Amino acid sequence: MKPPTPPEAAFSRLVGDKARRKRRAAPDDSPVIWQGLSLFGTVGWTVVVPTLAGAALGVWLDKHAPAPAPLSWTLTLLLAGLVLGCGMAWFWVKQEDKETPPSKSTPKTDD
């Protein structure tokens, strides 16, 4: 009959098993085309949706509450949507850059 194992040994074995599984499941450092296309598409939609929403709201406002003569709600809100979309895309790319670990293939230089 086998003596019971202490809880610390069982816990250590469990942690070791999980660490080995995690190392095996870690992605390699080769670039993945789909990840790049996904980011490209996300950034694109992040800019396009607010721009088109601003233009649509501007067209509606121009029909129902026209702006004074030299101004156009359509153009004004289209530009506002574009600025908002670019700001959101910039924020999104910064967040992705923070979450992406540095590549192992890039040599570090000490300046």
Q: Is residue 23 part of a domain?
A: no
The predicted-structure confidence for 10-38, as pLDDT tens digits, reads as follows 888 888 888 888 877 766 655 677 777 88
* End-to-end CA gap in the chain: 63
Is residue 15 one of the residues assigned to a domain?
A: no
Residue 48 within any structural domain of the chain: yes
Q: Is the pLDDT of residue 101 over 90?
A: no
Q: What is the pTM of this model?
A: 0.60
Q: How many CA atoms lie within 13 A of 51 on its CB side?
A: 14
Quick one: which of 41, 38, 37 has its CA closest to 49? 41
Domain membership of residue 73 (yes or no) is yes
Domain that holds residue 73: 35-98
Asked whether residue 109 is domain-assigned, the answer is no
| pLDDT of the residue at 28 | 62
Number of independent structural domains in the chain: 1
93 belongs to a structural domain: yes
What are the tens digits of pLDDT across the range 60-80?
999 998 888 788 999 999 999
Find the helix packing angle between 33-64 and 73-99, rounded to 10°. Answer: 160
The CA distance from 91 to 93, in Å, is 6
Considering the domain boundaries, does residue 110 fall inside one? Answer: no
**CA–CA separation, 40 and 46 (whole Å):** 10
User: Does residue 111 lie in a domain region?
Assistant: no
